[in-house]
Amino acid sequence: MVMENKADVVIVGAGIIGCAISYYLSKRGKSVIVLEGSDNIGNGGSSRNGGGVRQSGRDPRELPLAMYGIKELWPTLSEELGVNCEYHKEGNLRLGKTPEHLKILQGLTDRAVACGLDVRMIDSDEVKEINPYLSDEVIGASWCPTDGHANPMVTTLAFYKKAREMGVRFITGEKVERLRKVKGRLRKVYTKENEYEGEFVVVAAGYESREILGTIGVDVPMHKELCECLVTEAEPHMFNQMLGTAEADFYGHQADHGSFVFGGMSGLELNNKDCGPVNSPSNAAITAPCICRGIMKYFPALEDAKIVRTWAGYLDICQDGVPVLGFVDEVPGLVVACAFSGHGFGIAPAVGEQLAMLIDEGKTAVDISGLRYGRFKAKI
Amino acid sequence: MNTVVDRSIDIGEFIAQPDDDMLICRCEEITKGEIRKAVHDGMWTLTEIRRYLRTGMGLCQGQTCSRLVKGIVARELGVSPAELEPATARSPMRPTEMRIFGTEEV
Amino acid sequence: MKRYEVIIVGAGPAGLSAAIEAAKKGLKVVVFDENDKPGGQLFKQIHKFFGSKEHHAKIRGYKIGEELLKEAGELGVEVVLNATVVGLYPDKEVNVRINDEIHHFKGDTVIIATGASENMVTFPGWTLPGVIGAGAAQTMMNIHGIRPGKKILMLGSGNVGLVVSFQLLQAGCEVVAIVDAAPRIGGYGVHASKVSRTGVPFYLSHTIKQVHGEDCVTGVTITEVDDHFAPIPDTEKFFEVDTVCMAVGLSPMSQLLKMAGCVMEDNPKRGGQVPIVDEYGETSVSGIFAAGDVSGIEEASSAMIEGKMAGVCVAEYLGYIDEEEKDSLLKVFDADLNSLRQGMFAPKNRGKLIESTEEGIEISKNLLKKGYVKDDEIERFPGVVHKSGVHPVIECTQNIPCNPCQDACKKGCISTGKNITYLPFVKDGSECINCGMCVASCSGQAIFLVNEDCGDGSATVTLPYEFFPLPEVGTVGFGLSRKGEKLCEAEVVSVKSVGAFDHTNLLTMKVPKEYAMKARFFKCS
Amino acid sequence: MSRISEHPILGKKEEGREVEFTFDGQKMKGFENEPIAIALKANGVMIHRYTKKEHKPRGLFCAIGRCTDCVMVVDGKPNIRTCVTPLKEGMVVNTQDGVKAVGM
């Protein structure tokens, strides 16, 4: 049987963004084909990140999406998708140990407050009250009580599972090589063996979006950076907050399973040797030990927690640190959702829902105009 | 491997089997039935199964169960186990205390 | 960062052999092993190895381990124990946990010789305390000196299952049965026979239906299976046991190679996930080699040769020897490896039903199904002859690459012919002096010295005996058949234990002469 | 007694110093530097832990530090592989329940 390779929307990339868009489109009655270059759903950043569902520390341009998602979508997501995404909305602590740290945190806090976010600076006593396991050296933190975390691997696969049940056609191992306009509109997507056609084509392929978009003359200024995570054995339950530090030594949380998931970098990433393919980069030998030292500075109680696994993933870092989302005026039919710069997971449901709306209705409920493709200009 | 797989191909309904309650992943206590069900939920690769269910993500990192899980998934999909790519090997190869992992002699 | 010319991971037979060969050529070698003792699984192998002299035949595994360690030490190989390699990173960077630190090393070359891990099968109750791997049983009794249990059922009739069953008996445990879902015994017939003659029953085409117990194992029910491994109703058998031991195969422990980005394949013939290597073990990543079980499950004997090959290749890779020297060395190792890979258990014959020997003699079906050759079948094999006076009876009925028996006899009575796998026979006109060296040197414990007629209505049978307590001369007990059934009264008339026998005691029993060709074990009454 | 006093091939084993340790509050004896699991086995202990989800008993399985089924709480630290951790004088060994010591 030859399947019709046509749908209302063809999505390139089955990460959490592609899966979420496909689910919300399908809810709106659209037919969708999702093409994934690797063999696994959610193989890039979607399954390699630290699971933060944060608003604090966000750029004002993407903050509305983050706030919208946490208010409207995350609380009922597990129920909606029929899979426990392990979502916890129990706050984010960004920790500081020096006056310089507090200065950084104060700056972040001031900007967020200006955007209407409930975030404030707290002193060491209050930090200890929220999380008694932290080092006595912590002198303060920024505290956003409505932030939280979820399980990124499960959430990605939950979107996939639900979308698949609703009839979205997912094809893995189908690497997109070229996009093509037909009669004034981007319609066609070519892989090595096959071609696909849609009224809209969404490119949500992480860093690889750049090469794919290049085939239609669109360039998103981004680079890739290797970030690494580690996970410990299950430990007795300690806390439910998401954690970070002023100096970004590490970030992470304790999962429902009991294990701690922490991410971080060595500081050498920008010029580090290429660690291999986008879908299975190897760890750098020095990074996980560095993350461990970062954690122990704040969490001496975890020094005996045993690490069972480490992994690496590429961030698709945009020139200005926020994603590129939405229509590209010069190429009708094209929708871009990439360059999430390492904070795409938390906003993924909102991005999925809003881009589905954009495709269906031509407009969004949340203002994403600051994230449009055409924003990049020379400095002078 | 990168072979084109259409995830909407019909692999049949999930039919309960008498040994579905057999424990397969000893560390994370995942049963055969849960693994079979996950395949019908669309998890067709060992990597997806592992991320969805946590099989092989416990203390032993799949030393004991990876071969068993592979067999179950292959049977459910009607393919040979050799066709299924095993999940990636991750360091550290043995559980290692954070205190030790963070103490380096370069 | 500290750099070595070659870093070897795993101090088992392959790793140590590689280290020795590389060090001989002048390389600076380090071997890391996560265990507190080197030798890998060799120190658990207390049986005598098969093969020929070059393969350390008739030497017990743990002694081979001692020899390898001594040689490596003399050559200046640095063996670092309690050193867990936690990762193999780009640029051949090896992270090793030593004591409470992670050490970073680089290797110009890396040889991965991490061996294998045990496979498991599932059945209700398989997670109960008391269900253990065969490797665990070996570790407990042969390394730590403790019995895994009192009454044990063994699942798996491959060489591991058979050898470990025998070791359990030696440790003083009771083995209630050896069970395998396959229709035929997977390991060497001689290994099966030495277990069988002590009275352990074999249940082929059987599987475990359930292991019983609340807190730990109290019993096990097995059931017969049909050709499709489906249980046959009403064939259940119950055994009261405290331990169930699983010996259902091994898988290469190749995770480090996968992490290093070596191209891997799933190859059932090699036992699972293995690196794709050239004929001398180099992987797709230049300078990373694999040797031993990690690149395909075989025997310790072949692992040692593969290790030597990798050692020589590394020496050439780093310019210590030229290509010509490498090729001439590899040619010798190739020949050794080939001679090991002969016979009916060769890798190429895995899974095949072989019905007759290379000499054209029909294989004993009972041996494959029940673990022993029947009285009426044994006569057709060339080692079984009848003569007056004491003479060897060689109950070796399958073609395996092994020939210590022919070297053992100073009188030249025994020969395997031109091929190492041929069945040994007793030469015409040869004169047995009853020295017993053939009995003690047979790794399969398949040689007996028999005097079929002592002139007083009795016969004597001398058999290898590796159990405690050792019966004393004058002890009266029973002669057991090849199946382990009581045949007749028997009296111990001689017990010989000399250094050259290497712990294989020679027990001679006197039996009524009609049992001369039937009684093959002695049991105290 | 499950210790093999004399083995037909390996002879008599050289044991370390006899040391005392406690298992779930009970005093026991073993040999210094042998794996904790072996000392427990010699004392007849089969159950090392109860699992987190199903609360099922587990014990020694692979005996070489791979399967991690034999983990216990040793000197207050959970998930210690008792089959490869050497016994020391005065060690406090507890049956593990999920990720904690039983009764904690």
Q: What is the mean pLDDT of each run of 10 residues along chain C (525 residues)?
A: 96 98 97 92 93 89 94 97 95 95 96 96 97 97 97 98 98 98 96 98 98 98 97 98 97 95 93 94 97 95 96 98 97 94 89 92 97 96 94 96 93 91 91 94 97 96 97 97 98 96 97 97 94
Contact status of B91 with chain A (Cβ, < 8 Å): yes
The mean pLDDT value of chain A amounts to 95
* Alpha-carbon span C263 to B23, nearest angstrom: 32
The number of angstroms, rounded, from the C-alpha of A134 to the middle of its chain's C-alpha atoms is 27
Q: For C456-481, b where at least 16 C-beta lie within 10 A, e where not — what string? A: eebbbbbbbbbbeeebeeebebbbbb
Contacts of C172 in chain D (CB under 8 A): 4
Q: How confident is the model at residue B89 (pLDDT cuts 50, 70, 90)?
A: confident
Task: Tell me which residue of C74, C73, C8, C68 sits closest to C39, measured CA to CA.
Answer: C68
**A174 and B4 in contact by Cβ < 8 A?**
yes
Mutation target vs D (from B22, B28, B29, B65; most D CBs, 10 A cutoff): B29
Name the amino acid, one letter, at C279: E
Task: Tell me which residue of A298, A272, A308, A306 sits closest to A287, measured CA to CA.
Answer: A272
Residue of A nearest to C88 (CA): A285
Q: Which stretches of A38-182 are assigned E, i.e. beta strand?
A: 52-53, 92-96, 120-123, 140-144, 148-149, 169-172, 176-182
Q: What is the mean pLDDT of residues D73-90?
A: 96
Name residue C157's beta-bridge partners. none
Contacts of C258 in chain B (CB under 8 A): 86, 88-89
* Alpha-carbon span A331 to D30, nearest angstrom: 77
pLDDT surpassing 50 at residue A170 = yes
The number of angstroms, rounded, from the C-alpha of C22 to the middle of its chain's C-alpha atoms is 27
Q: Are C223 and C209 in contact (CB under 8 A)?
A: yes
Chains near C (3 or more Cβ pairs under 8 Å)? A, B, D
- Which pair of structure tokens corresponds to residue D82? 């008792």
Residue of B nearest to D79 (CA): B59
Is residue C322 classed exposed, middle or buried when 0-12, 13-18 and 19+ CB atoms within 10 A define those classes? exposed
pLDDT surpassing 80 at residue D1 = no
Mutation target vs A (from B53, B85, B98; most A CBs, 10 A cutoff): B98
Helix (H, G, I), strand (E, B) or coil at A88: strand
**Which of A167, A173, A257 comes nearest B4 by C-beta?**
A173
pLDDT in the model for residue A82: 98
* Alpha-carbon span A324 to C364, nearest angstrom: 75
pLDDT in the model for residue A356: 98
pLDDT in the model for residue A1: 40
pLDDT in the model for residue B36: 98
* Long-range own/partner contacts, residues A66-71 (CB < 8 A, 24 or more apart): A66/A346, A66/A347, A66/A350, A67/A116, A67/A117, A68/A350, A68/A354, A68/A365, A68/A366, A69/A346, A69/A347, A69/A348, A69/A349, A69/A350, A70/A146, A70/A147, A70/A148, A70/A346
Angle at C58 between CA C53 and CA C62, to 5 degrees: 110
Name the amino acid, one letter, at A194: N
> Directed axis angle between helix A16-27 and helix A348-361, to 10°?
50
Q: How confident is the model at residue A3 (pLDDT cuts 50, 70, 90)?
A: low
Q: How far is C434 from chain B (nearest CA, A)?
A: 50
Task: Provide the CB-side half-sphere exposure for B50 (13 A, CA).
Answer: 23
Q: How far is D9 from chain C (nearest CA, A)?
A: 6
* Alpha-carbon span C422 to C400, nearest angstrom: 7
Q: What pLDDT digit, counting tens, does each position of A217-256 carry?
A: 999 999 999 999 999 999 999 999 999 999 989 999 999 9
**C259 and B89 in contact by Cβ < 8 A?**
yes
Q: How confident is the model at residue A38 (pLDDT cuts 50, 70, 90)?
A: very high
* Alpha-carbon span C257 to C284, nearest angstrom: 10
Sign, CA dihedral A298-A299-A303-A308, equals negative
Q: Are A138 and A4 in contact (CB under 8 A)?
A: no
Ramachandran angles phi, psi of C327, nearest 5°: -60, -40
pLDDT in the model for residue B83: 92
Mutation target vs C (from D46, D49, D84, D88; most C CBs, 10 A cutoff): D46
pLDDT in the model for residue A322: 97
CB pairs under 8 A between C and D: 95
Residue of C nearest to A310 (CA): C87
Give percent of chain D with pLDDT exceeding 70. Answer: 98
**Which of A42, A173, A307 comes nearest B5 by C-beta?**
A173
- Which pair of structure tokens corresponds to residue C145? 């000196």
pLDDT surpassing 60 at residue A2 = no
Task: Tell me which residue of C219, C204, C6, C195 sits closest to C113, measured CA to CA.
Answer: C6
pLDDT surpassing 80 at residue B106 = no
pLDDT surpassing 80 at residue A279 = no
* Alpha-carbon span A92 to A42, nearest angstrom: 25
pLDDT in the model for residue A29: 98
Q: What pLDDT digit, counting tens, does each position of B15-50 carry?
A: 999 999 999 999 999 999 999 999 999 999 999 999
Q: Are C372 and C378 in contact (CB under 8 A)?
A: no
Q: What is the mean pLDDT of residues A160-164?
A: 98
Q: β-strand C101-112 against C288-290: which pairing, if any?
A: parallel
pLDDT in the model for residue D75: 97
pLDDT in the model for residue C413: 92
> Directed axis angle between helix B46-53 and helix A152-165, to 10°?
110
Contacts of D53 in chain B (CB under 8 A): 29
Task: Tell me which residue of A237, A245, A258 sits closest to A293, measured CA to CA.
Answer: A245
